[in-house]
Amino acid sequence: MKFGVVVFPGSNCDADCYHAVKNVLGVECDYLWHEDTDVAGYDAIILPGGFSYGDYLRTGAIARFSPIMAAVADFARAGGLVLGICNGFQILLEAGLLPGAMRRNVGLSFRCEFIHVRVENADTPFTGAYRPGQVLRLPIAHGEGNYYADPETLAALEAGGQVVLRYSEPDGRISEAANPNGSLHNIAALINKEGNVLGMMPHPERASEAILGSEDGRGIFTSMLRYLERRRGR
C-alpha cells in the first residue's frame, strides 16, 4: 500500500500528512511534486492544507492547473482515493472534482481552533472506522471555508449522502453557533457521487495522536487503509 502527498508551492501541511500516514498509520508514503505528471503506483493521493500559490486570485485557483492535477483527476476518474484537506478541499472544488465553491468566512476571521463535527455518512472509504453520528473533535485553520453551492446542487448533495461531516455542538446538535465560517448546511466535508474523492476543511492529520490533543482524526486514515486493503483482497 502506498500513499502520495502532493506538495504545491505554499503547501504547509504536507509534512504533517506524511507523518500521519508514514509514522502513525505505518504505511509507505511519498511526497509528489506539483510538476510531476504521473501518480501511477499509488493507492491514495492526499492534497494537503496550506496556501498554494499564496492563495492568489482565489484559494486553489492556480494550483488546480498544476501538471500533477491532470494526473490526479485521471486517478480519481479511475476510482483512486483522493483526500483533500483544507486548501486541498479548495483545490478539489476549483478543479471541479467536487461541486460548489468556498467564500470568505462569515465575519472575515481566520479561524484556527478545535471544533466539533458530526459524522453524517460512515459508509465511505474515508469514514468507515467511525460510527454514524459520532462527534469528532478536530482542528480547523482557514479563512475561506464558507461553502456555497446552488440550491439544486445542495439538495442533490443532501439526498445522495454526500455531506460526510457537519459542524456540530460537542453533543452532536447541529446549530448556527457551531458553524465557524457560515458554511451552508454546516458542511465541513463532502464526497463526490462516485464516493472516492473527499474534501474536508478540518485537519485530521493534526489530530491523529494523543500528544496533539485529539486522536479523532486518525480514523480518516485508518478508514482509507481498511478500505484499500479490503479492495485489494477482493
Judged by CB, which is closer to other proteins: 129, or 201?
201
Q: Residues 13, 17, 86, 120: which is the catalytic one?
A: 86
Dihedral sign, Cα of residue 99, residue 144, residue 42, residue 72: positive
Tell me which amino acid residue 172 is: G
* CB of residue 20 to other proteins, shortest distance in Å: 30
Q: Is 107 in the site for other proteins (CB under 8 A)?
A: yes
Judged by CB, which is closer to other proteins: 19, or 103?
103
Q: 203 an active-site residue? A: yes
CA angle 131, 229, 130 (to 5 degrees): 10
Question: What does each C-alpha distance from 113 to 109, 140, 142, 202 come to in angstroms?
Answer: 12, 6, 10, 10
DSSP state of 109: P
Tell me which amino acid residue 143 is: G
What is the x/- site pattern for other proteins, positions 8-47, by CB under 8 A?
----------------------------------------
Furthest-apart CA atoms within the chain: distance in Å: 49
Judged by CB, which is closer to other proteins: 20, or 191?
191
* CB of residue 148 to other proteins, shortest distance in Å: 6
Q: Which three cell numbers stand for residue 121?
A: 455518512
Q: Is 106 in the site for other proteins (CB under 8 A)?
A: yes
148 contacts 190 by C-beta, under 8 angstroms = no
Q: 205 an active-site residue? A: yes
- Interface residues with other proteins (CB under 8 A)? 57-58, 61, 65, 93-94, 99-101, 103-108, 146, 148-150, 182
User: Which residues are catalytic, by number?
Assistant: 86, 203, 205
